[in-house]
Amino acid sequence: MVSEAVYKTDLNIEPIKKLSPVLINDLPLIPSMTSWVNIKDLGAKGDGETDDTKVFQEAIDKYPVIYVPQGWYRFTETVKMKPETKLIGLHPFATQFILKESTPAFSGFGSPKPLLESSEGGNNLLNGIGINTGAYNYRAVGCKWMANAKSYFNDVKFVGGHGTMRKGPYTPWRGYGQSKISSPSDPVLLTGKDKAWDTQYWSLWVTNNGGGTFKDIWTASSYNTNGIYVSNTSTPGRIYAMSIEHHVRNEAHFRNVSNWKAYAFQLEEEDRESQDCQPVELQNYSNMLFANLYMFRTIRLATPAPYSVRVWNCKDIEFLNLHNYSQIKYTTDLPVYDINKNIEVRPWELQRLVISGNEPKQECGESINGKVRKLVSGFEFAEGIARDSKGNIYFCEHRMRRIYKWDVSKEQISLIADFPWKPLSLAFDTKDNLLVVFRYDSQPGYMVNGEQERISGLPDAGGTSFSGWGNSGFASWVYTIDPANPDESIRLLPKKKMGEIKNVHKALYPSNRWRDFHDFNTVAVYYPEYCFVAPDGVTIIPEHYDLARSSGVLEAYPGKPFYASDEYDKRMVKMDVAPDGGLSNLTYFVERGEFGSAVDNNGNLYVADGQIYIYNKEGKQTGIIEVPERPSTIQFGGSDGKTLFITGRTGLYSVNLE
């Protein structure tokens, strides 16, 4: 990716503070309307039923500019544009080119067949028109574009799947819940999947030296293999504000392409369709710019993903202001991965990354530097790390609802619990009681005081979009177990008024907070009404909404500095801890921060952010620990407390720091 020297220092990338504006100064002009025709004046119906193919093709043969009024125009064969054809609509949903299901020319086995096809090397324009290839048309391509560098493709929506809008009359949104209660004899099914997804070729196919300007495009049909596929072209292409979403296996694919620029290119993966989607593939690609690239996984996804951009034999590619993020904790591990050279780019937010094509291949292995040891692997998403008084390490998997123990003396792992409660974070009190922060969803049909059980919201839930879109209506509570007898010892921790415990030994706070409304500084020192009290009576967990998303909890000791991560703005902050466990005097410490952090016996801070960065008490970086995979949570443990343990998503690692 960049030079070897730069790569080994983590690309020398600073967090993004402000997006750079992009000046659009090379857009084609809308053509003169001196020789144009209204397609409905020539007999096109646009009723969604009548075959309008012949009317369009005859009009294209005669007129260079065709106005397409509102209507759904049904085609049964490919409509082919002439070199000067301009098709102009004014609303990409109200005006659509459509295929009915199983249209013969687009069905069965065969090569890609486009609904609309540009001329090869022509000066074409398509504006304000939606393209809908239906569901079961196996050979369908929405549009095959082969026009020249001056062509213009603007305000187009590819209709189908999650992004589909329906005709009126308006009906209220029903939401995600169902009032019906599931039972074995009468189950409620919530799969929400369509068997026709991923059965067609590409929505937009740019090929055969096609290029031009592509602007304001929403390509979100789950029925197509890709939202955009660009292949075999060196003609300059420019993309402005293209949103590609909701595909099953791949959002965007570029193959044998050069001389393209993409501004505000946005990828989004959804829950039902895209849990296994690879957003971007770049194969044999050169002389390319991505500026303000957004790669996003929605709030409903519950599985991790390895890569956002996979690179195959590419050179001279530049990324400016790259964003790889999610409101949930399952952000894609690596924003960029060179699959042939085994080069990982780990920063989720970066200002500039250059792929020269001359980077040396990185050798595969369990450790980058020979110091990090892999202890055990095979997990889906390991996090929530904690230690007991003997230095044993515990961690959990939220979605799989499992809690594990690594015995440091025996060097073996055991499964402590797989209760039906989803663990969020783990900790210990002073008497080695394991504390489990977990998610509790109200039980349908369970009546409390004669009413359906409901969970009250917390005052600090606002300020983050994580609290919406299916992530409300549940509680983050804490139970305790004896790790030696978990099945018989589980019980819920009581809540008391914050401040009621006068001599707190330690308070447990979220290791990281994701606050997209930029209220982190306020919420981090917010003094909640209640706290959970551990069995030892002197360990508390203040009740914060951010426990719901945090990957771990950290120990705040009165009289000592406490560090936490502002995950959204990628920084660590430092706070004071009061005798009752409250936090105050927030100051910025270092401009790195992600999920986990840990403090050693000398007060040095270790920050997990792609790799593990070491800072002294003054905030000066003194070292870096390179980890074979992205670290999530970290904790000191072992018999002497000098071994750093690391949950690395799929495995548990350790490094001895003596």
Considering the four listed CATH numbers 2.40.30.200, 1.10.10.60, 2.160.20.10, 3.50.50.60, the one that applies to the domain covering 4-15+38-167+193-355 is: 2.160.20.10
199 CB neighbour count, 10 Å cutoff: 17
Asked if pLDDT for residue 182 goes beyond 80, the answer is no
CB-based contacts of 338-341 (< 8 A; 24+ apart in sequence):
338/1, 338/311, 338/314, 339/310, 339/311, 339/312, 340/312, 340/313
pLDDT-derived band at 30, boundaries 50, 70, 90: low
Asked if pLDDT for residue 330 goes beyond 70, the answer is yes
What are the pLDDT digits (tens) for 118-145? 999 999 999 999 999 998 899 999 999 9
pLDDT-derived band at 470, boundaries 50, 70, 90: low
Q: Are 319 and 293 in contact (CB under 8 A)?
A: yes
Asked if pLDDT for residue 479 goes beyond 80, the answer is yes
Task: Return d(Cα 141, Cα 106) in angstroms, integer.
Answer: 9
Least confident of 100-114, 145-159, 168-182, 540-554: 168-182
**pLDDT of the residue at 292:** 96
**pLDDT of the residue at 275:** 86
Q: What are the structural domain ranges in the chain? A: 4-15+38-167+193-355, 373-656
**pLDDT of the residue at 274:** 85
pLDDT-derived band at 20, boundaries 50, 70, 90: very low
Task: Return d(Cα 506, Cα 556) in angstroms, integer.
Answer: 5
Q: What percent of the chain has pLDDT over 70?
A: 90
Domain 373-656 in CATH 3.30.360.10 = no
Tell me whether residue 389 is exposed, middle or buried, using C-beta atoms within 10 angstroms of its C-beta: 0 to 12, 13 to 18, 19 or more: exposed
Asked if pLDDT for residue 10 goes beyond 60, the answer is no
Mean pLDDT value across residues 450-470? 86
Least confident of 58-62, 86-90, 462-466: 462-466
Asked if pLDDT for residue 6 goes beyond 50, the answer is no
Task: Give me the chain's average pLDDT, please.
Answer: 89
The larger pLDDT score, comparing residue 19 to residue 272, is at 272
Mean pLDDT value across residues 641-645? 94
Asked if pLDDT for residue 263 goes beyond 70, the answer is yes
Task: Return d(Cα 19, Cα 326) in angstroms, integer.
Answer: 18
Question: How far from 583 is each of 154, 167, 524, 563, 574, CA to CA, in Å?
Answer: 52, 53, 8, 11, 10
Task: Return d(Cα 504, Cα 556) in angstroms, integer.
Answer: 10
**pLDDT of the residue at 21:** 41
Give the E-state strand segments of 346-392 in sequence order.
349-355, 373-387
**pLDDT of the residue at 341:** 86
